[in-house]
Amino acid sequence: MNRKDDHIKLAYAQSSKVNDFDAIKFVHHAFPEIDLADIHLSVSIFNQTFPLPFYINAMTGGSDQAKMLNERFAMLAKHFNIPLATGSVTAAIKNPAVADSFTVIRQVNPQGFVIANVGAGQTVENAKKAVNLLKADALQIHVNAVQEVVMPEGDRDFSGLLRSIQLIKQALPVPVIVKEVGFGMSTKTIKQLSEIGVEYVDVAGQGGTNFAVIENQRREKPYSSFDDWGLSTVQSLINAKKFPQMNVIASGGVRNPLDVVKGLALGAKMVGLSGYFLHLVKDNTHEQAVEELNQFIEEIKMIMLVLGKKRIVDLKTAEMIIPTSLASPL
Ligand code: FNR
């Protein structure tokens, strides 16, 4: 089976579990003193305004099944006017025969905000090819040392990645987002990225889809040391608070509307979901998925109503109870 199809099958088989978002609670105040009609969910990021504070994060491309999923993701992205990130476009750069499994996104949603994705270590030329193929509005560069180590056919040379990210960031005209794939970001990592001029990070922390487990399921002899590796999304967001100039995206283990609001209250400008959308499109027709997402959005508004917050940016002042084990940066 194609690696992309393995990832889809194994990620779909993972069920959502308890994670650090559950350890955080909002302080309840009895007088919200606002009207539901005054709540707006729009956010400004990537020099644009979007109507909703979340997006469909990087997943797939490179097989027939991936094409079908990307088509479904693009239909949802178009309906809700939310950004959509592709899976690693390197698959199409290596093998142009699978390019349509990515470009289907543009066919479905010609005006939408599309984020192309490549792995760290790519050349500037390949990064440009990825953006051009999709006429992408932004580029994600994923860093995934743990996944590569556990992946039987994965990379073993991680030297020079920061330099290659810096070169791509300097050469590309679109916003460049550096993202993990579910292992989170330390204070040191975010500092290193900030020092080379990166303006957007997607922390993609531990707590949701677990790529160490997925790659171990593809190995004959698992490297079990990595099954519980990484910093959670909550810990990563707390680390990122030290860098107020950084545009931070929360992702990794965002399972429901409450996790979205908690991610935003912890300082993120936007929230990314992968596993949630994979299950949403695989378990539902487009119409059912739209209905479920409308309910998801309604629930975000209800949480904001009870918190007494009219705007997403106001969530940063929401008071939270954070266990001391999570409260300090790492
Ligand atoms: C991913 N993810 C991912 N990330 C990335 O940067 N490039 C990629 O090609 C992929 N591929 C991929 C395939 C599938 C099937 C899934 C489910 C996920 C990782 C993804 O963007 C995200 O960081 C993690 O899945 C954690 O977020 P969730 O799933 O807990 O919301």
- Tens-digit pLDDT profile for residues 149-204: 999 999 999 999 999 999 999 999 999 999 999 999 999 999 999 999 999 999 99
Angle in degrees, CA 4, 89, 153, rounded to 5 = 45
Q: From the CA of 181, how far away is ligand 1's center (Å)?
A: 6
Distance from Cα 58 to the centre of ligand 1, integer Å: 5
Tell me which of 209, 278, 282 to substitute to probe ligand 1's pocket, judged by most ligand atoms within 8 Å of the beta carbon. 209
What is the C-alpha separation between 190 and 201, in angstroms, rounded?
Answer: 8
Looking at the CA of residue 254, tell me the nearest atom of ligand 1.
Answer: 31
- Per-residue pLDDT averaged across 31-60, rounded? 98
Ligand 1 atom nearest the C-alpha of 207 is 30
> From ligand 1's centre to the CA of 32, what distance in Å?
36
**Which backbone phi and psi does 216 adopt, to 5 degrees?**
-65, -35
- What is the pTM assigned to this prediction? 0.98
Distances (CA, A) of 277 to 25, 54, 175, 269: 25, 11, 24, 19
**What value, to the nearest 5°, has the Cα angle with vertex 46 and ends 44 and 204?**
95
Determine the Cα–Cα distance for residues 262 and 27; give it in Å rounded to an integer.
Answer: 12
Cα distance from N-terminal residue to C-terminal residue, the chain: 39
Distance between Cα 313 and ligand 1 center (Å): 26
Nearest CA to ligand 1 atom 5: 58
Cα–Cα distance between 178 and 192 in angstroms, integer?
Answer: 11
pLDDT at 16: 87
Ligand 1 neighbours (beta carbon < 6 A): 7-8, 11, 57-60, 87-88, 117, 140, 142, 179, 181-182, 204, 208-209, 251-254, 273-276, 278
pLDDT band at 208 (very low <50, low <70, confident <90, very high): very high
Over residues 62-74, the pLDDT tens digits come to: 999 999 999 999 9
In the reported structure, the alpha carbon of residue 160 is separated from the centroid of ligand 1 by a whole-number distance in angstroms of 23
Distance between CA 277 and CA 74 in Å, rounded?
Answer: 11
**What are the angstrom distances between the C-alpha of 183 and each of 112, 145, 222, 232, 246?**
29, 9, 18, 7, 19
| Residue 42 pLDDT exceeds 80 | yes
Rounded alpha-carbon distances, angstroms, from residue 322 to 22, 75, 235, 325: 10, 37, 11, 8
Residue 87 CA, closest ligand 1 atom number: 9
Please identify, by atom number, the ligand 1 atom nearest to the C-alpha of residue 255. Answer: 31
% residues pLDDT > 90 (the chain)? 99
Residue 1 has pLDDT above 80, yes or no: no
Q: Which amino acid is residue 14, in one-letter code?
A: Q
Nearest CA to ligand 1 atom 25: 209
Q: Give residue 250 CA to ligand 1 midpoint distance, Å.
A: 13
Longest dimension (CA), the chain: 59
Residue located nearest, by CA, to atom 8 of ligand 1: 87
Residues 272-318: pLDDT tens digits? Answer: 999 999 999 999 999 999 999 999 999 999 999 999 999 999 999 99
Mean pLDDT on 222-244: 98
Q: Which atom of ligand 1 lies at the shortest distance from residue 58's CA?
A: 21
Give me ligand 1 centre to Cα 274, in Å.
6
Q: Taking all residues of the chain, what is their mean pLDDT, rounded to a whole number? A: 98
Q: How far is the CA of 85 from the centre of ligand 1 (A)?
A: 10
For a mutational test of ligand 1's pocket, the pick from 139, 180, 181, 231, i.e. the residue with the most ligand atoms closer than 8 A to its C-beta, is: 181
Token pair recorded at residue 190: 């975010």
- Strands 43-45, 48-50: pairing is antiparallel
Look at residues 330, 9, 6 and name the one whose alpha carbon lies nearest to residue 150. Answer: 6
Nearest CA owner, ligand 1 atom 13: 59
Instruction: Give residue 309 CA to ligand 1 midpoint distance, Å.
Output: 31
